[in-house]
């Protein structure tokens, strides 16, 4: 399973990238706003930093302007994936840009039928939002399962990019189901290392190292 990091914060991306934990990056207008940076400048910096796909989202709602924005974003770097919303106009833009050979990430997916449409429009990635479904007491993980079954039934190559990941359990469940990619904030990726028994075990080992005077160097 690939790990994308869901942020536009350069230091956080660089830190995880140095550990080999970054297979790509996703951004959205809210993350760009949070960074306080110009979208074109910060996206270029991210593309220079990581080898994998970097999703940058269009701002328009009509297909023609989305396509024009997408083409401008694609000039930034070869690893840009144009992110479009799951609307008819977004799907039109997806079809045109993916027919041109561009990577397209169709975002704001909340149903398996929407995911089916995105695959038929040639999306490289479909982004179902788990956490936002959980927020309204729906089962985000059931959506990932349904999309996996449907894509496998028909051999669609669109990659399931599980988004709106809020917890370590979301990551585990996505891995069990077979999502192709998860995109998560740096804090969630970093939290995957934590286990109380690791902390407790290390504490005991450190006490024994000290009391026995064990030295290697």
CB of 167 to ligand E4P, least distance (A): 11
Options 83, 190, 210, 215, the catalytic residue: 83
In the complex with ligand E4P, the residue whose CB is nearer, 121 or 163, is: 163
In the complex with ligand E4P, the residue whose CB is nearer, 17 or 26, is: 26
- Under a CB-based contact definition with an 8 Å cutoff, are residues 35 and 42 in contact? yes
- Under a CB-based contact definition with an 8 Å cutoff, are residues 146 and 136 in contact? no
Which alpha helices (H) appear in 100-185, and where do they start and end?
112-120, 130-135, 140-154, 168-177
Pairing status of strand 125-128 against strand 24-26: unpaired
CB of 129 to ligand E4P, least distance (A): 5
CB of 87 to ligand E4P, least distance (A): 16
Query: By C-alpha distance, which of 130, 108, 110, 112 is closest to 120?
Result: 112
44 is catalytic: no
Q: Residues in the site for ligand E4P, rule: CB under 6 A?
A: 6, 26, 28, 107, 127, 129, 131-132, 163-164, 183
CB of 132 to ligand E4P, least distance (A): 5
In the complex with ligand E4P, the residue whose CB is nearer, 177 or 214, is: 177
In the complex with ligand E4P, the residue whose CB is nearer, 132 or 190, is: 132
b/e sequence 199-217, b meaning 16+ C-beta within 10 Å: eeeeeeeeeeeeeeeeeee
What is the rounded distance in angstroms from the CA atom of residue 161 to the CA atom of residue 127? 5
* Active site amino acids: 83
């Amino acid at each position: 399973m690939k790990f994308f990091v869901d942020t536009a914060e350069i230091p956080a991306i660089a830190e995880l990238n140095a550990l080999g934990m970054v297979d790509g990056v996703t951004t959205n207008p809210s993350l760009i706003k949070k960074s306080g940076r110009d979208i074109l400048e910060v996206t270029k910096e991210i593309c220079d930093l990581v080898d994998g796909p970097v999703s940058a989202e269009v701002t328009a709602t009509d297909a023609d302007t989305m396509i024009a924005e997408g083409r401008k974003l694609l000039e930034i770097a070869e690893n840009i994936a144009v992110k479009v919303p799951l609307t008819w106009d977004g799907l039109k833009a997806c079809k045109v840009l993916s027919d041109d050979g561009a990577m397209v990430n169709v975002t704001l997916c909340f149903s398996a039928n929407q995911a089916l449409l995105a695959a038929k429009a040639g999306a490289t990635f479909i982004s179902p939002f788990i956490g936002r479904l959980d927020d309204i007491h729906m089962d985000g993980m059931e959506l990932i399962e349904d999309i996996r079954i449907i894509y496998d039934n028909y051999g669609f190559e669109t990659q399931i990019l599980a988004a709106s990941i809020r917890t370590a359990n979301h990551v585990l469940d996505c891995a069990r189901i077979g999502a192709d990619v998860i995109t998560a904030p740096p804090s969630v990726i970093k939290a995957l290392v934590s286990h109380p028994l690791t902390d407790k075990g290390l504490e005991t080992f450190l006490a024994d190292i000290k009391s026995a005077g064990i030295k290697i160097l």
